[in-house]
Structure 1
């Protein structure tokens, strides 16, 4: 099965280091979310994968082989800046792009029809790209990345400027491609979407990968935190070993618990009154992102 490996990539622009030993992998059939602030190195990494830029060090491999021109023909790439011919009609353009990748005319036409149908732009096939809304242009750009039936997808901000319906359509397309075994790498500033859609995520800050892993793994606190919705902590927490109260908001208390103390805490809370919720407290990806980027950079950086 195909695996994309990013191995210790480095890249500098003059005296500024854009990437410093960046490493991660995108496995067959998974959706990998690549997140970081503007200038963190996401687009530079993707451009090196595609051969648009040359790295100063490190290597990009696919199935264990360094990526060459032949392998790049099997990649579907969607740049952050739209790369379409504005005065060319949608259907003609997508068919033309499929032919450039080696499809015969009939197969290219059929693929164009499939993806314009799937992405909800079939009725715009005879329109020039420049006459489309920004959201529909984004759909055409994704169709251009898919029309040659690529074996790997690399998408730079594919959800930018889309309305909620279009986001759902694109999300379903990415899930379908991953289910077919295609590795999907995409960058986004929409962290709630990344959290909902991705199997794994990589957080990059100042050219370095600071966290890589499954969402649930990254969201775990080193010391487990629990959310207790019931009586105030003063009614049940004092005297309990291994319990540290972190926050109280209304009827909800967040506590750190030593391993093995969960049942004792729940019993104490129940003895004090009704308990409506007793659950692990895990940070959202947005909270995690802020924490790790702040720790990496020394300042908080917006996604």
Structure 2
């Protein structure tokens, strides 16, 4: 039976010298989900992932990886794309993918067969025998990603996987991530680019200043900010401001923008219609994940710049 949680962490702490990098992070990653760890540069994301994988040991706290209290005991069931990319430049693309699979216990012959199929899936079928040094940066990054999934792991951990990819390859990567989730894998990835998280994540955590500041769904994150209303009157006239909420501000198009009241927009519109102002346009705008992220991170972002997580 599949465990409820693919990854758990309780109170993870890491310091480098006297400098705290991660200050007590808790995480629970559901099995079979796409889970994003979001945060500004230097927030502690990479250090947190490395502790979860057992690459570095926490100074305090506990974690489990696929049910194992010692993460490295589950290493063959995990695929990992590190933030620092690196492949042997003289190795051919298919051999590189098969080699990375072999490090996780996949026979080379099967790795080569799967590598051929995977390279074809991402539009690199023509490059199976190309040396890594002849590939573009984005193509080489896709090859390394395929090496992380070729052994069909239960858990895939991707550290800033979209960094350095052009929009076309970003789209290919998103499709791969969704395909792996549909296969039954759990995907845990870090990013500071909200658009990818907004499209992909079943759940997410936001880390800032070495601490978890939010955990939940994308919709729950967006709900931390109120929606906004853009109202455009059909017949604007003096006195309209008195009928609008106190935070209403005029817009350049002759409309007004204000926070959606708890009771909804109807109680605002009825007096406006009765006074003859009418409605030429009405839009209710939900906050984006980016806006929610900025709100949640808040003043903690300043502390992240000095965290130095890449020292891990």
Once the two structures are TM-superposed, the CA of residue 297 in structure 1 deviates from its matched residue by 4.7
Report the CA distance between 1:157 and its aligned residue.
1.1
Distance in 2 (alpha carbons) for counterparts of 1:79 and 1:235: 60
2:290 paired with 1:286: yes
CA distance in structure 1 between the partners assigned to 2:216 and 2:98 by the alignment: 38
Counterpart secondary structure, 1:38: coil
Change (3 A) 1:227 1:6: farther
Count of aligned pairs:
298
Contact 1:5 1:61 in 2 (8 A): yes
Seen in structure 2, the aligned counterparts of structure 1 residues 235 and 15 have a Cα distance that, compared at 3 Å, is same
Task: Flag the 1:169–1:62 CA change in 2: closer, same or farther, 3 A.
Answer: same
| Residue-by-residue CA offset, 1:132-180 (whole Å, 9 max, x unaligned) | 1101011011101111111111101111111111111110111111122
Deviation at 1:238, TM superposition (A): 2.1
Q: 1:162 aligns with which of 154, 165, 172?
A: 165
| C-alpha displacement of 1:252 | 3.8
Instruction: For 1:66 and 1:220, locate their aligned partners in 2 and report how far apart those are by CA, in whole Å.
Output: 35
Alpha-carbon deviation of 1:95? Answer: 1.4
Q: CA deviation at 1:223?
A: 5.4
> Aligned residue for 1:273?
278
**1:194 is the counterpart of 2:191:** no
Is 1:60–2:60 an aligned residue pair?
Answer: no
Deviations 1:198-223, CA, capped at 9 Å, x for gaps: 22222111111112221111112465
- The structure-2 alpha-carbon separation of the partners of 1:261 and 1:111, relative to structure 1 and needing over 3 Å to count, comes to closer
CA-CA distance at 1:97 after TM superposition: 2.1
Distance 1:178 1:92 in 2: 25
Question: Would the aligned equivalents of 1:236 and 1:268 in 2 still touch at CA under 8 Å?
Answer: no
Q: Alpha carbons of 1:221 and 1:36: their partners in 2 closer, same or farther (altered >3 Å)?
A: closer
**Matched residue SS, 2:51:** helix
User: Structure 2 regions of 5+ residues with no counterpart?
Assistant: 306-312
- Note if contact 1:266-1:278 (Cα within 8 Å) is conserved in structure 2: no
Q: 1:209 to 1:106 in 2, by over 3 A?
A: same
Distance 1:185 1:75 in 2: 11
2-structure distance, mates of 1:59, 1:300: 23
Equivalent residue for 1:245? 247
Cα distance in 2, alignment partners of residues 115 and 201 from structure 1: 28
The TM-score, its normalising length taken from structure 2, stands at 0.86
Q: 8 Å contact 2:65–2:71 — kept in the other structure?
A: no
Which of 165, 170, 179 does residue 176 from structure 1 map onto? Answer: 179
Please, what TM-score do these two structures have when normalized by structure 1? Answer: 0.88
Of 101-110 and 119-128, deviating more is 101-110
Question: Counterparts of 2:227 and 2:193 in 1: how far apart (Å)?
Answer: 27
The CA RMSD over aligned residues, in Å, is 2.4
